[in-house]
Structure 1
Amino acid sequence: MVKHQAITPEPRPTVPEFSLRLSSTRRGARLARTLAVQQLTEWCGIPHDSDPARTVALVTAELASNAITHGHLAGRDFRLTLLLLPESLRIEVTDTRPERLPPANSPELPDAEAESGRGLILVEAYAVRWGCTVRDAYTKSVWAEVRL
């Protein structure tokens, strides 16, 4: 079932938005996770130690980690964008490798001994929906919507 592959731009809703460029490093990925939870708390009053906040942290961490691992070009940052939708938080991570798209179908489980390869499986499990949008020849955004 293909439910997450989009190549055409989506219209941007007029909702509260937070957007910031971060370094394509592990430190940048950690900061993305922290900022996403902080912004969720400011917008919704949801405590940092609640299930929705932990879900936002996990999904943000996986998307940011994929951006720095698979979507990184030397000297280029990634962008974290958060959109507060009526019933969910949309987390977008934009990187500089539009030719490297996530799998078109549901991600497959890696070998039991593999040390990586489970990130998108977690995103699919925790997100209401997720996908990839290529807006131009230089960037792609992988996004996920987490129910609040």
Structure 2
Amino acid sequence: MEVLKSKKDAIEQSKFIQDHQQQIDTAKEVWGIVDENFRITQTLENAIQSKAQMFDELLLKKVPGLTQEELDYLRQTIAGEVNKGKEALKDDKVKQLQDQVVSQNQQIQELQSTNFSLTKKLNDIQSAVQTAAQ
């Protein structure tokens, strides 16, 4: 009897895991649809609200009966998974842009210094020419 009960428990747990994985896979599919739909947006706040709402609606069509808590959990799970590599890329890009700005500022300072020096030499030459012409 205990063997049957443990097998039943194992089957139920396996079914729960399969159902959960199927929900995650469906949520990923829905995320892709929503993400594609919102690539160009008018305002960020409206986009976030609309995107979450659209995700919930589409996921409920594919997996009826989910509670709002389950929808929120799945959305956050997928968002975390999709966005986990984006922060590192964003940080690298920001660092790269900062380095470019520093380099360009140095070049600007060098050009300004050269410009000042050349302007001074030009003024000196013009003064010398005017003095010689008099």
Q: What's the TM-score, normalizing by structure 1?
A: 0.27
**More helix, by proportion:** 2
**More strand, by proportion:** 1
Larger radius of gyration: 2
Q: What's the TM-score, normalizing by structure 2?
A: 0.30
Q: Which has the higher contact order (CA 8 A, sep 6+)?
A: 1
